[in-house]
């Protein structure tokens, strides 16, 4: 079939983004903290506050990115994920021309850059696919809002709002955990810590389903691993004086070591390597555990292009194309009635 006669499908992958040079660190941080989903004050207050926070945090952040060569690896890894996904979608949708575009929230390529590329492609259909498995108003909702503000082109749109318990996600995490543990010589006894990015408790109290979805992911992975693993959920990357979700990952490490256990740690809410995995988990938390005398510290890699994960993404895209428009989970999952921020619940 000639390409111009085939249906045109655009898939947009969303993630937070990261600085691509030392000079980009401060503006990246400013973009992060000026987002009303992160700091919910009026713009006249939020913008100066964001500038202040970015200026204060930039020196340490530059040092941390320096550990990774001066830039975040998030975009290159997302590009590899996009390329792997495109191969599977080309096989699954032979009657279509599929283009995959990346939209980062806080650094290039921004939603406006992705929107321009998709408009030029002129798709018949669009699937919005956040690379945040668990929905939060601070991540998925913010990225989808930026897209809605930027895109004015054609195409019927479906959004995958979340996929916390998808089979591909759970299987990929289980495989990464088992492979990392085996490569370390299967030390025992150990505790598996599922470490997720934290959020202030007030965000959850306002109806954000993130914590419940992190718990669903951890349970799905634990089920794949079987019943022999001792596991906990913990939260990392706390910022500011507010009360955040707990226990912290450091507290979970302390508890495991005090119990005479080694540690296997899995970045349960991250699908790509970035500063929070390569610096926070691999350097800071590992040093903390070793200083306490931890018998083993094993870190499972982020999912990257793990085949089960990419296959799961491809299945979600094809399933989204078969349903009416609007946001919906990419796998069988329903938010409880109290999670008012859930976009699928609001759309129902």
Domains, the chain, with CATH or none: 3-16+73-164+306-347 (3.40.50.1400), 22-67 (no CATH), 167-299 (3.40.50.1400)
Strands (E), the chain: 7-15, 96-104, 125-130, 156-160, 190-197, 230-236, 262-267, 297-299, 326-328
Measured CA to CA, the distance from residue 175 to residue 192 in angstroms comes to 14
pLDDT of residue 323: 87
pLDDT averaged per 10 residues, the chain (length 348) = 78 97 96 90 91 94 94 97 98 97 98 98 97 96 96 96 96 98 97 96 94 96 92 90 92 98 97 96 98 98 98 96 84 80 73
Distances (CA, A) of 234 to 133, 255, 277: 17, 11, 14
Q: Do residues 233 and 191 make contact, with C-beta atoms less than 8 angstroms apart? A: no
* C-alpha atoms less than 13 angstroms from C-alpha of 310 in its C-beta half-sphere: 19
The pLDDT, as a whole number, for residue 242 is: 81
| Rounded CA separation 315/236 (Å) | 30
* Residue 347: per-residue pLDDT: 59
pLDDT at 115: 98
What letter does residue 268 receive in the DSSP assignment?
T
Inter-axis angle of helices 167-183 and 307-321, to 10 degrees? 180
Given this model, what pLDDT does residue 137 score?
94
Task: Identify any residues that bridge with 266 across adjacent strands, giving them in sequence order.
Answer: 194
Is the pTM higher than 0.85?
Answer: yes
């Amino acid at each position: 079939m000639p390409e111009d006669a085939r249906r045109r499908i655009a898939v947009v992958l969303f993630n937070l983004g990261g600085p691509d040079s030392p000079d980009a660190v401060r503006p990246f941080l400013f973009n992060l903290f000026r987002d009303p989903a992160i700091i919910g004050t009026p713009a006249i207050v939020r913008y100066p506050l964001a500038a202040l926070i970015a200026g204060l945090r930039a020196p340490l952040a530059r040092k941390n990115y320096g550990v990774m060569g001066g830039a975040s690896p998030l975009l290159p890894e997302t590009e590899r994920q996009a390329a792997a996904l495109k191969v599977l979608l080309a096989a699954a949708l032979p009657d279509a021309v599929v283009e995959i575009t990346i939209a980062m929230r806080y650094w290039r390529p921004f939603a406006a850059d992705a929107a321009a590329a998709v408009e030029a492609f002129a798709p018949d259909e669009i699937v919005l696919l956040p690379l945040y498995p668990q929905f939060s108003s601070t991540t998925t909702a913010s990225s989808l809002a930026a897209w809605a503000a930027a895109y004015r082109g054609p195409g019927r749109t479906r959004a995958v709002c979340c996929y916390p318990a998808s089979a591909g996600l759970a299987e990929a995490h289980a495989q990464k955990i088992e492979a990392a543990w085996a490569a370390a010589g299967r030390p025992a006894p150990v505790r598996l810590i599922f470490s997720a990015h934290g959020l202030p408790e007030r965000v959850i109290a306002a109806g954000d389903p993130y914590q419940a979805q992190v718990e669903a992911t951890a349970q799905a992975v634990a089920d794949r691993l079987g019943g022999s693993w001792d596991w906990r959920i913990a939260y990392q990357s706390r910022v500011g004086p507010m009360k955040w979700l707990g226990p912290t990952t450091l507290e979970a490490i302390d508890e495991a070591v005090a119990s005479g256990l080694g540690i296997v740690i899995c970045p349960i809410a991250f699908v790509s390597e970035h500063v929070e995995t390569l610096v926070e988990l691999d350097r800071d938390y590992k040093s903390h555990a070793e200083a306490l005398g931890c018998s083993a510290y094993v870190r499972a890699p982020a999912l990257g292009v793990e085949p089960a994960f990419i296959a799961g993404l491809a299945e979600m895209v094809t399933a989204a194309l078969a349903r009416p428009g609007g946001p919906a989970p990419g796998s069988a999952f329903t938010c409880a009635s109290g999670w008012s921020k859930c976009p699928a619940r609001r759309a129902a």
